[in-house]
Structure 1
């Protein structure tokens, strides 16, 4: 392939060959941990790139000049992308060539996420469009391949910077980040990759577990050319070298629904060896093969776990036992890469740090995280509350977009044992007239019940923070940093009816009329938010937080006092502290944005665990 020379922000860059490009930028870590095939080929690396501010290009042939190179999977607003342009750009174009993988069957093209709207061409032929900035999509591009051995891929992405009727989470609609909103992440921001599959293959997997029957459940869908003759699916479940089950199942249609008994040992001590929890995150590896007439059609690697979550009266239950939740709120941003992690190791390190700080879970705030984060949470044992990024307007279009994307989110992530709660709304964002407008209430109710329909096995928090309608957990946001005030508001002298009717953190009522508290668990799901930034840092006067500390010792003291108080309050079944790291102008993290602790991590851990919490695995 010919060299390509482009001036990128004043720096001349040359790409000599496709082979060199792939070798330098390939991520060896599989982007879809629960449905892996080998081999696969990453398309991350340097792509040609151009903005189209006037929106005048309709197809690849319209674009005569590429003005930049961009490193995928980083968004053009990020420093790591090599573009680093944070101005308003609604449209952008990408293009690269890659060596077509050898093999028969079909070639699938996968995008981890493109924010917000994407159109794809392969070899100048239009393939498809996808809308939704946080979810994956896959395309069969077999029919447009040629005999040259080289495939050209072109992508148009549209992300209107000031469109408040789309799910956007913490991405700012103003040119410069303000208050609690951050720089935008436009276009491709997760891995792009291709893989060869047979003419018939497994298109989707969904795992669940049945604690009472001691079974693992698999739902799967075949894709491609489903043969009219008999098809068998063969599964092997194991932990290490120990085989738990060997199962062969006749597939009579394109849908598979199979329950696999694991052999119940009956006694808790033996059962516990198989259960997944933050203390012992046991995963069950799965090898799945698809056969027809003694011919192997497909083979994938996956994993699942024996893990149940539920609500019993006023307590959150994990594996049939009351479990106190100690969550930390995480925005999921990095200074140089924005919503894209700088590496797989960075994701693993975040999970390890959160656990080292004494937390057993994380609330991923206003972001659908990279599947690799969920993988590490599964492997290392970290509970996750998954929250839909908000739109900020209530319109018919916003409702359609949110609903469609939320369905895709649940489909993508419901097999991860780490996920223990779904959060479709936060603080009435996108439904600002929830108290007075019936349509807003119906929307929240519909999303709650839709989520319970798609996944009846996890709690759903209808609207996290206040103004609750139907919900499985009453989630309260209260940023009062005076421990005595929190104790007065929620402690032993508190009357629950008084709290629900008269105490209004954030100036909002906790439950709406006709939706009284019905004994659900009560959790303090946002509190703290105490800022600290060194006085000698640039722009330290702009550091944002709900309260400001001027020394590390003051921050350490206030964190310890808050956590000791919250841990002692019997009403709470758990908490979520704001927040894990500093994020752009927000200086209210326990860690700086580079993940360096503001005070010793063992001190953070001791404070997080102070008092033991009202409910622990051994005491409730």
Structure 2
């Protein structure tokens, strides 16, 4: 049995600050905070070797907030394609990682938008492209002396529409549904020490029907000699399973049999759901490396017109979430803010959220795992179709499916939305091939979740028929979704947005969801150029409009779920249920009753 000690963190009850919550080590150093910073509008830093000779600038930025945001201390939203960052690592920083002779020091970044170069002590340790994906560099062999200098050059061209950019505006000022840009370092940076052969990642696959949990480990390198691998699963104080094997290469698979899952009358006590978000702790030893993880025992699939969670029909009540804050833009204001966001969504009566046009910070996914909130994992889109945009989108998508594979809260993948980046998919075959390929590629990597091929309309080979409908009159919305006959007529013809809903694929048994609707603007803060799909004039009017639409949706005999637009006001988009600062526009109890379909009084 694995010898656990108090030095090993318990992953399922961590405090939410560690940037990679599904592979936790006891020692790490947070490198966020003040860094030296300068823009490079003439793009001269490479020629002048700024990684060796920092320019005459004493400006600072607070990492990980993007320079466009007030929280960064810079707050400059004008066009800047290139920026440079500089920070000194001290001997105390290295010591705090628990670094020992023979170990490797790894510098990790949560996300840098869009492209970057990283130097340590004048040595280029690596480059990365992809504005939403994590990366790391082993810096052990380039460290020189007691203090070490990290320099990062970032590049983000706002006019390059082949970059996956989601809701980031290509114009200098936000307009309609697009927001201020988020460039440079915008997720945590940290340093940790790992053994020469350590755990790089872990994927958990759950099969309650066979009472097994499969762990797929990827190591930092192949061991020179075989090394032992031991994995244990625990739920609270109960030991559930353990497996031992030997690593001879960089990839290791271990299958753990969980006897408690063989009791057909009791196994559901272990299953994960929003109502009962049970997490099973995992202890992983590979050679000298000791890490903690967690598993959610649950299944998600579709059949007979329903979304099934743990083999039971589950009605999805979701909210569209832009993941944007006034002070920090796409970056989270703090780790605590991510917990508060997940808790707010649950308090409002939702059991799911669709983080829109953004790969969210993994620390948010930890809280959706722990608190119990389903998540639709959606890609940020490029704004054009080209060989380069396809390559960039696929590369980021692969990295995120890998990063988020084991979060039980993620139950559906959404690689495309509203034909963004494939604007002519209805009549251009290669765009259809691309959408279909994304579905197939996703399922090749992860066969455990349904995939929505193109949320909103013009879908190919989709597992869920996802419809966007911003009609504001309940008398219009209600009949469209009342019964199977009405919905089948839409699916076979033209959808509410004037586009075909399904281009190809068998969707006869696919569940139908109204995955964007509402968008009622109620501008309590008198925002200039306030925008929404319809507008309310008072709290009572807002409640009546919201309640009417939700009543029409709840009355449907067919819909397997819905996603209301949207959680929070975002700049000029004032169609949130709460303000930009997350203050509810109606009493929480009133909103919860409307969202859950509780009969209203009066």
Same fold (TM over 0.5): yes
* In the alignment, structure 1 residue 290 sits paired with structure 2 residue 286: yes
Query: Could you tell me which of 578, 583, 591 is aligned with 1:591?
Result: 578
Residue 267 (structure 2) pairs with residue 271 (structure 1): yes
Equivalent residue for 2:361, pick from 366, 370, 393: 370
User: Which residues of 2 match residues 149-160 of structure 1 at below 5 A?
Assistant: 149-160=146-157
Asked if residue 131 in structure 1 is aligned to residue 122 in structure 2, the reply is no
What secondary structure is seen at the aligned counterpart in 2 of 1:484?
A: helix
Distance (whole Å) between structure 2 residues aligned to residue 299 and residue 159 of structure 1 = 37
22, 39, 63: which one aligns with 1:51:
39
CA distance in 2, matches of 1:287, 1:589: 41
Q: Unpaired runs of 5+ in structure 1?
A: 1-26, 292-296, 613-620
Kept in 1, the 8 Å contact 2:225–2:248? The answer is no
Which of 405, 422, 442 in structure 1 is aligned with 2:413? 422
Summarize the alignment of residues 552-591 of structure 1 with structure 2, pairs less than 5 Å apart: 552-591=539-578
Q: 1:28 to 1:367 in 2, by over 3 A?
A: closer
Corresponding residue for 1:529?
519
For 2:432, the equivalent position in structure 1 comes to: 441
Which of 183, 186, 202 is residue 186 of structure 1 equivalent to? 183
Residue 67 of structure 1 deviates from its aligned partner by 4.8
Provide, for residues 520-558 of structure 1, a one-character-per-residue CA deviation record: whole Å limited to 9, x for no partner: 000000000000013xx4544x11100011111111111
Contact 2:67 2:75 (8 Å CA) reproduced: yes
Indicate whether 1:79 and 2:70 are aligned.
yes
| Whole-Å separation in 1 of the counterparts to 2:457 and 2:404 | 26
The DSSP-based 3-state class of the residue aligned with 2:392 is: helix
Question: Alignment partner for residue 207 of structure 1, among 197, 204, 207?
Answer: 204
8 Å Cα contact 2:466/2:512 also seen in 1 = yes
In the TM superposition, residue 231 of structure 1 has moved relative to its aligned partner by 0.9
Contact 1:568 1:611 in 2 (8 A): no
Q: CA RMSD in A?
A: 1.5
- Whole-angstrom CA distance in 2 between matches of 1:358 and 1:278: 11
SS of residue paired to 1:176: coil
Paired residues for 1:275-424 under 5 Å: 275-291=271-287, 297-424=288-415
Deviations 1:328-364 (A, max 9, x none): 0000000000011111111111111111111000000
CA distance in 2, matches of 1:321, 1:559: 29
Residue aligned with 2:542, SS: helix
Structure 2 residue 59 is matched with structure 1 residue 68: yes
Q: Secondary structure at the match of 2:514?
A: strand
Q: Deviations over 1:63-113 (max 9, x none)?
A: 422252000010000000000000000000000101141332110000000
Q: Distance in 2 between matches of 1:28 and 1:259?
A: 28
**Mapped partners of 1:392, 1:602: distance in 2:** 39
Deviation at 1:497, TM superposition (A): 3.9
**Quick check: 1:567–1:611 contact (8 Å CA) kept in 2?**
no
Other structure's SS at 1:358 match: coil
Cα deviation, 1:466-496, whole Å, max 9, x if unaligned, reads: 0111100000000001111112222138444
Cα distance change on mapping 1:539 and 1:227 into 2, 3 Å: closer
- 2:161 — aligned with what? 164
C-alpha distance after superposition, 1:96-131 (max 9, x if no partner): 101141332110000000000010000011111100
Cα deviation per residue 1:8-64 (whole Å; 9 max; x = unaligned)? xxxxxxxxxxxxxxxxxxx98211101111210011010000000111111313542
Work out the CA distance in 2 between the residues paired with 1:455 and 1:28: 26
CA contact (8 A) 2:111 2:132 kept: yes
Q: How many angstroms does 1:519 deviate by? A: 2.0
Cα distance between partner residues in 1 of 2:543 and 2:283: 48
CA distance in 1, matches of 2:492, 2:303: 24
Higher mean displacement: 377-386 or 238-247: 238-247
Counterpart contact for 2:37–2:58, Cα < 8 Å: yes
The CA distance in 2 between the partners of 1:358 and 1:426, in whole Å, is 25
Deviations 1:123-173 (A, max 9, x none): 011111100000100110011012x21111000000001111010000000
Tell me how far apart the structure 2 counterparts of residues 199 and 275 of structure 1 sit (CA, whole Å). 36
Q: Secondary structure at the match of 2:594?
A: helix
**Deviation string, structure 1 residues 551-593 (Cα, Å, up to 9, x no partner):** 1111111111111110110120000000001011100000001
Asked whether the equivalents of residues 356 and 378 of structure 2 are also in contact (C-alpha less than 8 Å), the reply is: yes
Secondary structure class of the residue paired with 2:389: helix
Output the CA distance in 2 between the equivalents of 1:284 and 1:507. 46
Note the 1:83-102 alignment, pairs <5 A.
83-100=74-91, 101-102=94-95
Looking at structure 2, the residues matched to 56 and 230 of structure 1 have their Cα atoms a distance apart, in angstroms, of: 49
CA distance in 2, matches of 1:386, 1:28: 20
Secondary structure at the aligned position of 2:294 is classed as strand
In structure 1, the partner of 2:214 is 217
Conserved in 2, the CA contact under 8 Å of 1:110 and 1:192?
A: yes
Q: Does the Cα contact within 8 Å between 2:462 and 2:507 map onto a contact in 1?
A: no
For residues 202-256 of structure 1, give each alpha carbon's deviation from its aligned partner in whole angstroms, at most 9, with x where no partner exists.
11111110121011110001114x3332211111211111111122212232211
* Equivalent position of 1:118 in the other structure: 116
**2: distance between equivalents of 1:383 and 1:117?**
31
More contact order relative to length (CA 8 Å, sep ≥ 6): 2
| Partner SS, residue 452 of structure 1 | helix
Given the superposition, is the C-alpha separation of residues 539 and 310 from structure 1 closer, same or farther in structure 2, using an over 3 Å criterion?
A: closer
Partner of 1:245, secondary structure, is strand
List aligned pairs for 1:507-546, cutoff 5 A. 507-512=498-503, 514-515=504-505, 517-534=507-524, 537-540=525-528, 542-546=529-533
Secondary structure of 2:475's partner?
helix
Report the Cα distance in structure 2 between the residues aligned to 1:52 and 1:365, rounded to whole angstroms: 31
Any idea what SS the aligned residue of 2:397 has? helix
SS at match of 1:581: coil
List runs of 5+ in structure 2 lacking aligned partners. 1-14
